Amino acid sequence: MAKSFTFELVSPERLLLSEEVEQVVIPGTEGEMTVMADHAPTMTSIKPGVITVVQAGGGREQFVVFGGFADITPDGCRLLAESATRIADLDPTDLARRIEEARAEMEGARDHETRTKAEEFLGQLTTLQGALLPA
């Protein structure tokens, strides 16, 4: 059995999860990464995506996050999520609303930089929607 470490998933409103886990898959902005115990200290920003948690007992849980940060140390991982929900509780209309907002922001962007950023964010959201809700 793999070594376990503490994983905490925190959203501004509350602490969603704090438990011993074996591995966590995080959607980093530079690509997905799987975190296991004794990982090198890393800090990464997160894009909208799915977090998969494999608990020490062997259970699996999945969460949807909309951006945030992960602070990884050898003995733990703290994920500060902009907003996070269990995948089962995800409201498709909420996701659609976020996409709509992102689109509006992209269209209303004044300079190139914010436009590129908004475009990127929109792309990530639509990918997420495509992955979660098979049409």
> Residue numbers of the site for other proteins (CB under 8 A)?
8, 10-15, 28-30, 40-45, 69, 71, 73, 78, 80, 82-83
Residue 105 C-beta: closest distance to other proteins, Å: 10
Q: Which is nearer to other proteins, 42 or 55 (by Cβ)?
A: 42
Minimum CB distance to other proteins, residue 135 (Å) = 28
User: What's the CA gap between 108 and 89, in Å, rounded?
Assistant: 31
SS3 (DSSP) at 13: coil
- Residue 46's Cβ-count burial label (10 Å; 0-12, 13-18, 19+) is buried
Helix or strand (DSSP H, E) at 12: none
Nearest residue (CB) to other proteins, 11 versus 23 = 11
Choice between 20 and 75, CB closer to other proteins: 75
Closest distance between other proteins and the C-beta of residue 110, in Å?
10
C-alpha angle 29/69/94, rounded to 5°? 80
| Residue 115 DSSP label | H
Nearer to other proteins, 40 or 88 (CB): 40
Least Å distance, CB 73 to other proteins, is 7
Q: How far apart are CA 116 and CA 106, in angstroms?
A: 8
